[in-house]
């Protein structure tokens, strides 16, 4: 069962969302309209769990495509929920906008729990919440989401009111972060995949601010898709809210199994794209490069375009590249198939006898300048996520970077480990051999 948090802007919905989940999932800021998309998380208490949904502030009278999209997201969250936490601001008191929201809730046939936020419970005897009884939802639950006060009692009330039917993260789900710089089509990609307006799309850079998690199933394979804010160089960011969004996007990368990095086909691979891809690999995540807006490209074949990209950045030899279009749907579902393959490579475990047969082939076929033979004698895998190999050999000093890269590329070729980083640890082999 979904639990939707609703209320007008700046009453503390996102702070309450974060507190109830015991993690910082939503951006919080005094600026009204910080939350735009529907954010979801799993609320757990007393061995039970429910899906908690944070929403943008319910407003009336605002104009413009972005404002209308935010309100459609609020409406969708409201329609999907059977239980509502209606948040009001105890310090500001009852305002007309609260009463308008209450009218909608009373007509909705949903269970509503009134939460009066921004209450310093240390001074509770002096607080007057009586005016909120006019809303028709009984006793308001006094909390201070900022200070973490009153939340345990709120969780108990929720637990006593609901059955544990919330969505847990499905077993075996591949966690995929959709990343890239602003306006490359990340949210459009997710909406195209889901065939619904799940996240807000707008030409304004920075429309997506919080990572948005959505469950999706293709065949028998479940996925957890995470749409993220556009990543830009922090030194260029003056807006604190945007900076927070970028840092949450980086955190989403580090929690993922595979990252789908989107670039704009009409602009090619720019410096910020390369930095994002490098951060993905430095974070030791699986990677797939999507060249989006391919419907706008004329006069060059996909093969020619891919060759030019790999020439621009040699480290892309390890990353699968796919041309996509959210407008036509080209290769959008195919991207998930490739992501599943990368996930398999990310988790793969190779038998030691197979690794050493491959190593022997590499030693016999390799011709390295200044090397009579490759100095490696034995290899075994010691970890996954990503694959981690321990290599023994006649190693007298630190392995040259070129030799390490040679072995990595050779292993990647023989084992078809596309899209995943490879870790190599070298150790001197004692004794003869």
Q: Domain check: are 67 and 113 in the same one?
A: yes
* pTM for the full predicted model: 0.63
SS3 for 433?
A: coil
Residues whose CB is less than 8 angstroms from the CB of residue 426 and which lie 6 or more positions away in sequence, other chains included: 391, 392, 393, 395, 399, 404
pLDDT for res 281 = 86
> Is 145 part of a structural domain of the chain?
yes
pLDDT for res 183 = 87
Q: Domain check: are 147 and 202 in the same one?
A: no
The whole-angstrom separation of Cα 140 and Cα 88 is 9
Residue 304: exposure state from Cβ atoms within 10 A (0-12, 13-18, ≥19):
exposed
* Per-run averaged pLDDT (10 residues), the chain, 433 residues: 84 90 60 55 83 72 49 61 86 88 76 87 59 81 90 88 54 89 89 73 50 85 87 60 74 91 95 91 93 96 95 88 94 95 93 93 70 76 90 80 87 92 85 51
- Please spell the DSSP secondary structure of 336-370, one letter per residue: HHHHHHHHHHHH----HHHHHHHHHHHHHH--BTT
> Is 168 part of a structural domain of the chain?
no
pLDDT for res 134 = 79
Q: Domain check: are 10 and 121 in the same one?
A: yes
Q: Domain check: are 51 and 156 in the same one?
A: yes
> Is 278 part of a structural domain of the chain?
yes
Q: Domain check: are 249 and 270 in the same one?
A: yes
> Is 136 part of a structural domain of the chain?
yes
> Is 226 part of a structural domain of the chain?
yes
Burial string for 334-369 (b: 16+ CB within 10 Å, else e) reads ebbebbbbbbebbebebeeeebeebbeebeeeeeee
- Of 328, 347, 366, at which residue does a domain stop? 347
* Residue labelled with tokens 């040699």: 314
> Is 279 part of a structural domain of the chain?
yes
- Of 111, 137, 161, at which residue does a domain stop? 161
Q: Domain check: are 62 and 153 in the same one?
A: yes
Domain total for the chain? 3
> Is 213 part of a structural domain of the chain?
yes
Q: Domain check: are 337 and 399 in the same one?
A: no
The whole-angstrom separation of Cα 86 and Cα 105 is 9
The whole-angstrom separation of Cα 426 and Cα 377 is 11
> Is 303 part of a structural domain of the chain?
yes
State the DSSP code for 149.
B
Domain that holds residue 400: 352-428
């Amino acid at each position: 069962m979904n639990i939707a948090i609703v209320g007008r802007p700046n009453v503390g919905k996102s702070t309450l969302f974060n507190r109830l989940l015991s993690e910082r999932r939503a951006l919080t800021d005094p600026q009204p309209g910080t939350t735009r998309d529907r954010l979801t998380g799993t609320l757990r208490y007393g061995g039970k769990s429910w899906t908690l949904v944070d929403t943008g502030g319910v407003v009336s009278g605002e104009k413009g495509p972005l404002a209308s999209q935010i309100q459609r997201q609020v409406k969708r969250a409201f329609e999907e929920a059977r239980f509502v936490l209606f948040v009001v601001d105890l310090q500001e008191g009852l305002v007309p906008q609260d009463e308008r929201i209450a009218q909608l809730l009373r007509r909705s046939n949903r269970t509503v729990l009134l939460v009066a936020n921004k209450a310093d419970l240390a001074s509770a005897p002096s607080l007057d919440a009586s005016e909120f009884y006019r809303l028709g939802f009984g006793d308001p639950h006094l909390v201070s989401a900022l200070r973490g006060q009153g939340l345990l009692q709120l969780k108990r009330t929720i637990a006593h009111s609901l059955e544990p039917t919330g969505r847990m993260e499905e077993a075996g789900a591949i966690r995929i972060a959709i990343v890239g710089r602003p306006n490359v089509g990340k949210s459009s990609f997710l909406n195209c995949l889901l065939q619904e307006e799940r996240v807000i799309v707008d030409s304004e850079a920075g429309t997506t601010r919080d990572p948005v998690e959505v469950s999706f199933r293709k065949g028998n394979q479940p996925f957890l898709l995470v749409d993220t804010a556009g990543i830009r160089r922090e030194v260029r960011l003056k807006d604190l809210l945007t900076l927070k969004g970028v840092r949450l996007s980086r955190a989403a990368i580090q929690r993922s199994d595979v990252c789908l990095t989107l670039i704009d086909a009409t602009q090619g691979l720019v410096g910020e794209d390369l930095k994002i891809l490098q951060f993905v690999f430095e974070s030791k995540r699986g990677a797939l490069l999507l060249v989006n807006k391919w419907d706008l490209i004329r006069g060059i074949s996909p093969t020619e375009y891919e060759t030019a990209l790999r020439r621009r950045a040699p480290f892309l030899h390890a990353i699968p590249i796919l041309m996509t279009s959210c407008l036509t749907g080209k290769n959008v579902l195919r991207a998930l198939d490739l992501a599943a393959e990368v996930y398999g490579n990310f988790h793969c475990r190779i038998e030691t006898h197979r690794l050493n047969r491959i190593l022997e082939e590499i030693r016999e076929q390799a011709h390295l300048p200044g090397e009579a033979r490759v100095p490696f004698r034995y290899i075994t895998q010691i970890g996954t996520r990503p694959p981690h190999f321990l290599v023994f050999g006649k190693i007298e000093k630190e392995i040259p970077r070129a030799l390490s890269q040679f072995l990595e590329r050779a292993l990647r070729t023989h084992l078809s480990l596309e899209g995943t980083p490879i870790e190599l640890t070298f150790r001197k082999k004692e004794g003869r051999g």
